[in-house]
Every structure is written in structure tokens, then in C-alpha cells.
Amino acid sequence: MAHTIQHLSHDLYPEPGQEHATGVPVPPFHPTVAEEDATVLSNMAVNAQYWHLVIQASPLAAAASPGQFYQLQCPPAHGAIPYLRRPMSLYGTDTATGQIQFLYKVTGSGTRGLSTLVPSDTIRILGPLGKGYDLAGHLRHIVVIGRGVGLATLAPLAEAAHMAGIGVTAILSARSPELIVSADRFNMKGMSVIPVTDTQGNSDPAWIEQALRGLISADRCDALFTCGSSRLLRMLRALAVEFDLPGQVALEQQMACGLGMCFCCVRDFASAHGTVTRRVCLDGPVFDIRETLA
């Protein structure tokens, strides 16, 4: 019986390079996701709330696109042992060197554990995962809008657009000017940066909406990209519908496996056939902004 099962298994799932039972050659398997121990190169606080982690991994692990994410096995801290891996958006990557960057805010046991990492420590990673941003189409000038750590996933997107010859305006939101992250990174590439903060009174979605309407009327916005904030998402979705603009949003969601198997990250989306349920980790985390319900 065992031999029969083994024989059937070989017929149904032959080794790459061999032939299927039907005589059809099996194409070689090319993995796109790595699970490995990465080495910490640096881990520093960039301001009072956010940290910048740089790790050394394999070229396969570093072969990520803007908008994709990784699952990180965070170390224990202060007696707390994070059981599940934590999803972390890509902040930057270099396939040639294998370096991967993350920007994170210390909010719970997982990120507290991350903040204890020092150079030469190792961390278990799984990724890259999910579907990233899509810059396809005849885009001339995009607008990226993000708040806080949500800017992490927008920075590599803006750089990819800049390298493709697409103009970029970045609206960066935070509680106060000293908490705005990535402004220097955008400025160094010659992108237009509009900082908005709670303390200055211009971070409200209504103010940002007026700024966007000005950019749209000046023909400096033919696509919208954002991450995280539900208030911003509702406003941007309405603008996208009103002006028939393409747009994408990277969603933040609690996850367990990150591979689409546990269905812990599902949420509702609009479709031509009504409301549908999708998995953020596998079907996203980047979605069409007009289909995303806030």
C-alpha cells in the first residue's frame, strides 16, 4: 500500500525536470519566498517613536517589490515572548547586497523585542510576501499620502516611480514636525514634499482633500497611493471615484501565517457582484483604492 501511495505521489507530483504521468514536462521550481536567519546590521531610533532596522539576508529574500512585506520572528523582551511573527512592510531593499530595511514603531511585545536587537544578532524572517504596488499605465505624476509608520511602504514606491521617470508629490502626515519620517529621503530625490501635522492644524483629511484638489486641477495627480489610515482612505476613495483616478492602498492588518492559510486577516471589499471577502496577506496587502472599504 505504501508503495502504491508513493507511486501515485510521484506521478502526481514528480520532481522538477521530470515528466508528469501525462508526459508533460514539469517546469523547474523557482522559489520567490525565503525563510531564513538574517543578520542585524543596524537598529537605531530615528526619533521619539520610530526605529530603523537594517538586516543582511540572501538575494532571494531581498528580491522584493514596493508594497510587499515580511513576517519577522521577534525576540522576547521584558519577559514577554511573542508567539506569532509580526508582519513588517518593506522600507528598502538591495537585491545585490541582500540588505533589507524596515521602519517600525514600538507599540507592543513584538516591536519591543525588535528594539532590543543589536548588530550581529540574528532574526528569523519569511518573505517577501504579498502583492505590491503596480505602476503600470501611462503615469506622469503620482501623489503618495501617508501618516506615521505608514510612510514606510510608500518610500520605496516613490523611489521606483522616480526611477521610472514619474513625478512624485509626497504628503507626509504626523502628530508634530519632529515625528515626520522619510522627508529627507523624498527631498534627496527631488520629489515635492508637503508636510502636514496635527500641531500645525493642517493634517485633517479636509485640508488634505483641498490640497489634492489643487494638485488634480493643476494636472499634477493622475494616480493616488496611500497606506494605513482609514480616514484618509475614505477621502481618497471618494476623490478617486469623483475624478476617475486610479489608486492603490496598502492595508495594515493583524496576521498570523502571512501565507493565506489561516484566514485571520480577511476583510470586506466592494466588487461588481457586491461585497466580497479577501485575504490581506495573499490577495494584497495592496488593493485597488476604489474597491477597498474603510
Q: Which residue ranges make up the annotated binding site for FAD?
A: 86-89, 110-111
Beta bridge partners of 19: 25
Question: Where on the phi/psi map is residue 275: left (φ > 0), alpha (ψ -120 to 50), or beta?
Answer: beta
Where do the H-state alpha helices sit in the chain? 2-12, 59-62, 109-114, 151-163, 183-188, 205-217, 230-243, 280-283
Burial tier of 294 (Cβ tally within 10 Å: 0-12, 13-18, 19+): middle
The binding site consists of 86-89, 110-111, 257, 262, 265, 281
- Residues 16 and 30: their CA atoms lie apart, in Å, by 10
Beta bridge partners of 134: none
DSSP 248-291: EEEPP---SSSSSSS-TTEEEEEETTEEEEEEHHHH-BEEETTT
The binding site for [2Fe-2S] cluster consists of 257, 262, 265, 281
